[in-house]
Amino acid sequence: MDGIIIIGAGESGARAAFALREAGYSGSVTLVGAEPHLPYERPPLSKTMSGMVQMKLICAKEALEAAGIAYIKGVSASRLDAAAGTVALSDGRMLRYEKLLLTTGARPRRLTCPGAERALDFRTYADAKAIFSNIVPGRSVAIIGAGLIGMELASVLRAKGVAVSMIEAAPKPLGRAVPARFAEKLHIRHAAEGVRFHFDRGVAAIDDDGVTLTDGNLVPADLVVSAIGVLPETALAQAAGLAIGNGILTDACLRTSAPSVFAAGDCAAVAQPGGGHIRYESWRNARTQAETAARNMAGGAEMFATLPWFWSDQYDLGLQVAGLPQPTHSTVLRSAAEGELEFYLDDGRLMAVAGLGIGNGLARDIKLAEMLIAAGISPEPAELADPSVNLKTLLKSARAA
């Protein structure tokens, strides 16, 4: 079975399969997924309907068939031989490829304390079902890790009348991903909703009563969820001798150290123009990297270059961050009826933007700001701060100039 094989049937893998056809690739395309479902999106897993976990499919079975994409589900790749161009599957099959795309994603980081096996992960459809099937009003949940996933889950559980305690080893929530201004606002909102926080605490043990902290205090809980981050899934690539760092290392075209093997999504660490590699974990990145890799496997030579972007819904608030805000950036704040925007400038040039507001009310402004960043402009800070100055007007002026 020569052709293109994709290992991993999440957002990246599924999008890459269809992008290959859109790029005009006519050879065989095989998508291999470890889960027993059709490819689905992860963000909706926390958005239950009538108490049931949603599975938002990326594509229907008929769409795969119409595109001529062979889908092997419930099977993982056990061994990759890049020199021979073969990949062995867990069911004993051996597949031969012309080109291979690794979209193996990431796996939850594991706790190491006594009783760690009692903590549930929150990444897959099965994980979500295990959590929400045990949720009823009046029960208590301890979430270990106050990052985006943990905070999003806390907001959903509070809306269901569940008592929530959050345990975080850092002195504040959302420390790495979210700008400090908006992290603090979200912290305040969670506290107002009744979430109890335990900062600067590690986990000593988990048992039937709940979570014992490193200071000796007990956080009572009927259910414990671990949300302490993820690790790129690199075992298959590493065993095959591919270059590994914080992910599977690729060049700017998403090609790994093996010429016929590419990588995309949460597992890929992509070479940067200034040196080094960066790995992104977001829905948009998984999709855009997959599409870029697909076009390159079909014969292109496109360098991956996109502005990082992610969003988070917590209660009725929507957070969006585009670009990579840095502590060295100067900041400009803009108030709006829907919320607040914060712009980040480096030597006057707009580099990033973040916004927190009601629902999706700031989405248009964030999109315009992304376009301003892409245009490489250096706007006047006073104009960025003035809500009466339309960002679209700034964009038109920049393009005219």
pLDDT in tens, 57-71: 999 999 999 999 999
pLDDT digits (tens, 9 = 90+) for 82-132: 999 999 999 999 999 999 999 999 999 999 999 999 999 999 999 999 999
Q: For residue 294, count CB atoms less than 10 angstroms from its CB and return exposed for 0-12, middle for 13-18, buried for 19 or more.
A: buried
Residue 201 CB neighbour total at 10 angstroms: 18
Q: In percent, how much of the chain has pLDDT > 90?
A: 88
Distance, CA of 215 to CA of 98 (rounded, Å): 56
> Strand, coil or helix: what is 169?
coil
pLDDT average, residue stretch 352-375: 94
pLDDT confidence tier of residue 2, bands split at 50, 70 and 90 = confident
SS3 readout for 227-245: CCCEEECCHHHHHCCCCEE
- SS3 string, 244-288, reads EECEEEECCCCECCCCCEEECHHHEEEECCCCCEECCCCHHHHHH
Q: Is pLDDT at 54 greater than 90 in this prediction?
A: no
* Cα-based distances in Å from 313 to 149, 151, 206, 266, 361: 10, 9, 29, 20, 12
| Neighbour order of strands in the sheet with 77-81 | 77-81, 86-89, 94-96
pLDDT > 70? residue 140: yes
Written as six digits, the tokens of 164 are: 């929530």
Q: Which of 268, 237, 257 is nearest to 12 (CA)?
A: 268
Whether the per-residue pLDDT at 1 is higher than 60: the answer is no
What are the b/e assignments for 129-139, b being 16+ CB within 10 Å? Answer: ebbbeebeeee
Domains of the chain as residue ranges with CATH = 4-107+230-297 (3.50.50.60), 116-226 (3.50.50.60), 316-400 (3.30.390.30)
pTM above 0.85, yes or no: yes
Assigned token pair, 180: 């400090």
300-339 tens-digit pLDDT: 999 998 899 999 999 999 999 999 999 999 999 999 888 9
If you average pLDDT over residues 1-15, what whole number do you get? 93
Indicate if the pLDDT at residue 392 is higher than 70.
Answer: yes
pLDDT greater than 90 at residue 212: yes
CA separation, residue 22 to residues 13, 69, 211, 378 (Å): 14, 12, 50, 37
Which token pair is 292?
A: 């870029």
Question: Which 3 state secondary structure label does DSSP give 206?
Answer: strand
Give the pLDDT score at 399. 74
Mean pLDDT of the chain: 95
Flag whether pLDDT at 275 surpasses 70. yes
